[in-house]
């Protein structure tokens, strides 16, 4: 797997990021609200990212970013399909025009807020005429990184019996993250419309982020909420190249460092597990004995074996 620095594919990242925001905002317009914005988040697929089925009565629909095909597709449950392609030399304004036309083609016109969210870019989609380069191979490499992150996050949180958000693509912050909740209410103490809904329970977020203009290296991160004020830099964390940032109140392990170990997947699992063990103690999580009680289901197990016998 190629590890992309953000600077190596910035234009392509900006195109995918802003189009993914169009998908997320479309979900926001149609879906019933859920805690932590869960109704608006995107899912990774074998081909890219998807909204999943968006409820619209007899014309429910789905929008997909198909990175392997180099295009964005919309399709409704009546079989109508429309799409447009990623191309070098296109602006976000042009992409947005094609996006609106695509939704109209499948009879699912949608009014959205066109100002990007949680980005340094604030120009509305229709007014952003900066030309972007699109590199299909970089888009594919990005998807592979996100696929690796999805697998590691899903494997890690499988043990947890409590409330959890399975790995999902956050189109605002452009990261793949999974979240474990303790069950304790913790209202966000500061201003911020997005934050007040996103941070209202005690939780730990385990994520992967491809970087930005300020941080070039893609990295796994672990963010506890409420935010920790204590400096945990001297608390041992695994693997040895992982570290705690007091400034950001987060743990980090770069993807490059994860792949410097003989078993990158194990390095990420060790990172998640050791940070979880530290944070649950520091934040005084309750009920962890039940959350961590061993599951009675074995991987692959009796149902699979029974099915084989029947066959």
Sequence ranges of the domains in the chain: 6-136, 141-291
What value does the mean pLDDT take over residues 189-193?
93
Look up residue 211 and give its two tokens: 């970087």
Bigger pLDDT: 24 or 296? 24
Predicted local confidence at residue 298, as pLDDT: 86
Peptide bond into 226 cis (omega under 30): yes
Residues 224, 249 contacting (CB under 8 angstroms)? yes
pLDDT band at residue 150, thresholds of 50, 70 and 90? Answer: very high
pLDDT band at residue 309, thresholds of 50, 70 and 90? Answer: low
Helix 264-282 × helix 136-157 angle, to 10°: 50
Does position 99 have pLDDT exceeding 90, yes or no?
A: yes
For residue range 204-258, list pLDDT tens digits in order. Answer: 999 999 999 999 999 999 999 999 999 999 999 999 999 999 999 999 999 999 9
* % of the chain beyond a pLDDT of 90: 95
Nearest to 282 by CA among 239, 249, 257, 309: 249
For residue range 112-131, list pLDDT tens digits in order. Answer: 999 999 999 999 999 999 99
Nearest to 199 by CA among 172, 226, 222, 180: 226
For residue range 74-85, list pLDDT tens digits in order. Answer: 999 999 999 999
Strand bridging mode 219-225 / 201-209:
antiparallel
Predicted local confidence at residue 300, as pLDDT: 82
What value does the mean pLDDT take over residues 36-59?
97
pLDDT band at residue 302, thresholds of 50, 70 and 90? Answer: low
Residues 195, 188 contacting (CB under 8 angstroms)? yes
Q: Which residue has the tokens 């019996």?
A: 161
Nearest to 153 by CA among 172, 173, 170: 170
């Amino acid at each position: 797997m190629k590890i992309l620095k953000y600077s190596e594919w910035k234009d392509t990242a900006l195109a995918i990021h802003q189009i993914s925001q169009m998908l997320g905002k479309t979900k926001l317009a149609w879906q019933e609200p859920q805690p932590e914005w869960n109704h608006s988040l995107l899912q990774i697929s074998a081909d890219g990212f998807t909204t999943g089925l968006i409820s619209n009565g007899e014309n429910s629909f789905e929008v997909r970013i198909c990175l392997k095909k180099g295009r964005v597709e919309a399709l409704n449950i009546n079989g109508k399909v429309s799409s447009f392609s990623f191309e070098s030399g296109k602006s976000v304004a042009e992409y947005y025009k094609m996006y609106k036309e695509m939704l109209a083609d499948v009879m699912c016109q949608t009014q959205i807020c066109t100002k990007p969210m949680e980005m340094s870019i604030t120009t509305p989609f229709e007014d952003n005429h900066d030309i972007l380069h699109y590199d299909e191979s970089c888009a594919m490499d990005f998807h592979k990184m996100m696929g690796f992150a999805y697998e590691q996050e899903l494997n890690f949180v499988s043990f947890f019996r409590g409330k959890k958000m399975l790995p999902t693509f956050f189109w605002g912050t452009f990261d793949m993250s999974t979240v474990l909740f303790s069950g304790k209410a913790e209202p966000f103490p500061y201003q911020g419309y997005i934050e007040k809904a996103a941070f209202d329970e005690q939780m730990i977020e385990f994520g992967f982020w491809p970087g930005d203009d300020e941080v070039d290296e893609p990295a796994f991160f672990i963010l506890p909420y409420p935010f920790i004020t204590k400096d945990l830099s001297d608390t041992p964390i695994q693997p040895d190249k992982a570290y705690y940032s007091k400034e950001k109140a987060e743990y980090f392990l770069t993807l490059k460092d994860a792949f410097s170990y003989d078993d990158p997947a194990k390095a990420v699992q060790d990172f998640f597990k050791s940070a979880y063990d530290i944070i649950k103690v520091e934040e005084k999580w309750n009920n962890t004995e039940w959350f961590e009680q061993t599951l009675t289901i074995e991987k692959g197990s009796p149902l699979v074996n029974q099915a084989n016998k029947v066959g």
